[in-house]
Chains A and B, each alone.
Chain A
């Protein structure tokens, strides 16, 4: 077995681990929902209250975020065994995933993000790594279901539909900009994914709190245990702000690369058009947040639309549109 095949196997292993973790995260949400049903005091038991907002009695010494999570005034912390298992399994999956990506790079003799399979492999790696990094800083395990759900679907599609054996790249891709441009694009995509998860939950929770009949049922009770709508919005914004700056850089680096390779920095190639559309939608999101009457729910919809354009840019544009960015590797 060569390195490429080993990498392929490990990718399947990581996907399986993520699938297991996904189930565990779902079970955790069910636990939260049950808990919410038993003790309807959502305000004090929300998971992941942020420091600076939580306020215990007496003088508040600056606290770390983890200490604030879990609720200082809740004597009996909610046991979340499923969530703990889920995080462990996700960590194992991330390990397999990382080794898989590294082996893929070694097998091809270059950075492992030159076609759709590899881009998905590394993009999901960034999404899961971002998620786990956030979990270390504060309790955002509630995002697990969405992040891992998207990851499992994306990896599955990549393994079944986009897979292509590891090999070198054509002359146009032999550039240091492959390392810079595509890696930053991958990281931005991973971050957009996590922010999308936060905004989705923000909208769901907001709808439930506003008495939406569809979300009123016990199945959605776990929403009560999440951080407040405002905190979810702030979380999504922070991640989107980083992702937006990285996306801006991606477009600029791409323009420089295009100038080196194709002799023009911008030519309205379908990929360029859609990268521009992604950029404009998230720019509109940042403006909407500070425009009265457009914040909150409306701004969150921008994140959903923006993420849809990110996914469209990666899938439909790569596979169906004729353009210079024809590097999908899928025939």
Chain B
């Protein structure tokens, strides 16, 4: 019952495939890899595959898919994926996102972390981040892990409006707001890169399992 992976229903129109618990980046990478693998397998009757940290949801067409058969196929595909191991990092696309580090919270982040603002920038631009999954609003990618020295809880009171393109950190995560939305993360910079465009196919720039590096610009 508590073994992984396990498959259980999410309502009457989706199944959950659960690989593990917690938020560790290796687990998220396995989940993203399995989601890509399942997508490539193009199981009949499946309309979407939605990964999060340690689980993914498989949505099926309203009445066409037979959940019992789909459960079997999912179990087999997950087993084959686990046997084959996660995709190698260098096989996954890397996006370089230019960032102007002039966010309204940069000074406060520097103060609270005891770092110089330039050090905050250096520590934010050094790692190559994994896209764990997308959520919150269209095109918003949860990236991580951030440098330990930059880990701060989210702001106690979220801002009502965070401008599109804001580059932000919270906890062990970083991300870019694709649209103007409310938000509680610390805004350290801004990018002109369009993360989400509904007229584009696919509309999202980043997908679960991709890699991202931020590069500082003056412009």
Asked if A and B bind, the verdict is: no
Q: B: which residues have CB within 8 A of A?
A: none
| Chain A residues engaging chain B, CB cutoff 8 angstroms | none
